[in-house]
Structure 1
Amino acid sequence: MQTDNRLFDDFVKLVNGAAGTLAGVGREAEAGARARAREWMGGMDFVSRDEFEAVKAMAVAARDEADALKARLDALEAKG
């Protein structure tokens, strides 16, 4: 009976080792895929979130200034 338990214990150790190895391979594959995606995207002409927000803020400021100038022009035209 003891040999059956030892055989079962060895089998469990083998399965646990295989599961650990597969998990490691999965993590390695994921890291490699992330690195390749980062390389691929790095070669493209994307802007960062900070750059996008800065341009967006400048566009809003320019639109506000244009609206103010239009209102001022309308007021001057109404007088003349």
Structure 2
Amino acid sequence: MQSENRMFDDFVKVLNGAAGTFAGVGREAQSGVRERAREWLGGLDFVSREEFDAVKSMAAAARDENDALKARLDALEAKMQVGV
């Protein structure tokens, strides 16, 4: 009877060791994936939200100025057509 318990105890120890090994492999794989993701993302050129908002504002101002200049040009061309 005791040999059956001992065999069962040994089997449980082997399973616990395997589970610990698999958990360690899983943690190692997860760590490797995180490191690769950091390397990949670190190589990309990201801008901060403040920089993006500043460029967006500059683009809107340039668009408004372009529209105003186009309106002035259209008015001058219309004036020249009347004078011809």
* Structure-1 residue corresponding to 2:51: 55
* Structure-2 residue corresponding to 1:74: none
Larger radius of gyration, structure 1 or 2?
Answer: 2
Amino acid corresponding to residue 2 of structure 2 in structure 1: Q
Structure 2 unaligned spans of 5+: 69-84
Identity rate, percent: 53
Structure 1 unaligned spans of 5+: 71-80
Report the number of matched residues: 68
Q: Match of 2:46, SS?
A: coil
Distance 2:41 2:21 in 1: 30
TM-score by length of 1: 0.62
Distance 1:14 1:27 in 2: 20
TM-score by length of 2: 0.60
Residues 13-52 of structure 1: pairs in structure 2 closer than 5 A? 13-44=13-44, 46-48=45-47, 51=48
Distance 1:38 1:62 in 2: 32
Q: Deviations over 1:49-76 (max 9, x none)?
A: xx1x103432348748x5xxx7xxxxxx
